[in-house]
């Protein structure tokens, strides 16, 4: 039986000089093709650049292997120039679904976006936001007074969600985290765990007086009146990790840090 041919690799880098230098060195050593010709895309940067790469290349359905040349590298593997093809041959694949956000501004315009980590609502003025929360069409909270609220995926549960004291979710769990940011009323509300298939609607009370912005992985929408969030089961992202260092292991390890 003939051996499997070496996969074609595309190298993409963030704007950081250290990332660009790494991309040049790897391309010179292993050869490089364009993203649409690649069997594997190697992303060099931090987590923010990995999210940008996944969003930008989702139409290709090509797996992405990240190596950390940035500040935060939860979604990245350790950087090493040697042995890349051997690492890729042994890599484990994780498939994740993003969230789909539809935000309606106070002027009635709608804005659609996908979020791999979380969809968040944040107050945009000096006064706390007042939110009304529906889950699958049923009113679950008539008034949440807070700095904001978010819905996080398991992959994003260690990011902003964790900083807001939300739970870390196992990568294979079919749940989402609904977490308040600095809740004032009800002060002790710790958020909720929802089925992955749940649809969440946030209504902003008095958005002219208490302006709120919505954000999906860095895509911001100002002055929102309503935000709808649900899992985008029709969109999949393929990530590659070194054995023993995949998202499942990282999420478990993070809870014992």
Q: Is 103 exposed, middle or buried (0-12, 13-18, 19+ CB in 10 A)?
A: buried
- Is the distance from CB of 43 to CB of 56 less than 8 angstroms? no
Residues 6+ apart with CB under 8 A from 183: 144, 145, 146, 189
Binding residues: 47-48, 117-118, 147, 155, 158-163, 182
The string of DSSP codes covering 177-194 is: EEEEES--BTTT---EEE
Structure tokens at 87: 């690492």
Structure tokens at 173: 């769990």
CA 200, CA 135: separation in Å to the nearest integer?
A: 5
Residue bearing tokens 């003025």 = 125
> What residues are paired with 41 via a beta bridge?
10, 64
47 catalytic? Reply is: yes
Q: List the catalytic residue out of 36, 47, 217, 242.
A: 47
Torsion of CA 218, 224, 227, 232, to 10 degrees: -30
User: Which helix (H) or strand (E) segment is 134 a member of?
Assistant: strand 129-135
Binding residues for NAD(+): 47-48, 117-118, 147, 155, 158-163, 182
Backbone angles phi, psi at 238, to 5 degrees: -105, 120
Measured from the Cβ of residue 185, the count of other Cβ atoms closer than 10 Å reads 12
> What residues are paired with 176 via a beta bridge?
194
Q: Which residues are catalytic?
A: 47
């Amino acid at each position: 039986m003939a051996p499997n041919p070496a996969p074609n690799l595309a190298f993409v880098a963030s704007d950081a000089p250290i990332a660009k230098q790494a991309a040049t060195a790897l391309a010179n050593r292993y050869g490089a093709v364009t993203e649409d010709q690649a069997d594997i895309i190697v992303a060099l940067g931090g987590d923010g650049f990995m999210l940008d790469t996944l969003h930008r290349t989702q139409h290709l359905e090509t797996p992405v292997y990240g190596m950390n040349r940035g500040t935060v590298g939860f979604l990245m593997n350790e950087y090493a120039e040697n042995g890349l093809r051997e690492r890729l041959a042994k890599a484990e694949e994780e498939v994740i679904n993003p969230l789909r956000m539809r935000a309606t501004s106070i002027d009635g315009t709608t804005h659609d976006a996908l979020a791999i980590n979380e969809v968040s609502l944040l107050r945009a003025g000096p006064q706390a936001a007042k939110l009304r929360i529906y889950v699958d069409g049923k009113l679950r909270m008539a008034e949440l007074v807070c700095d904001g609220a978010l819905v996080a995926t398991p992959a994003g549960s260690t990011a902003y969600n964790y900083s807001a004291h939300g739970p870390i979710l196992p990568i294979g769990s079919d749940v989402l985290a609904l977490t308040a940011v600095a809740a004032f009323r009800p002060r002790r509300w710790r958020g909720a765990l929802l089925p992955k298939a749940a649809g969440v609607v946030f209504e902003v009370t008095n958005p002219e007086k208490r302006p709120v912005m919505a954000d999906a992985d860095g895509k911001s929408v100002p002055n929102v009146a309503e935000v709808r969030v649900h899992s985008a089961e029709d969109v999949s992202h393929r990530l590659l990790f070194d054995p023993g260092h995949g998202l499942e292991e990282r999420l478990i390890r993070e809870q014992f840090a």
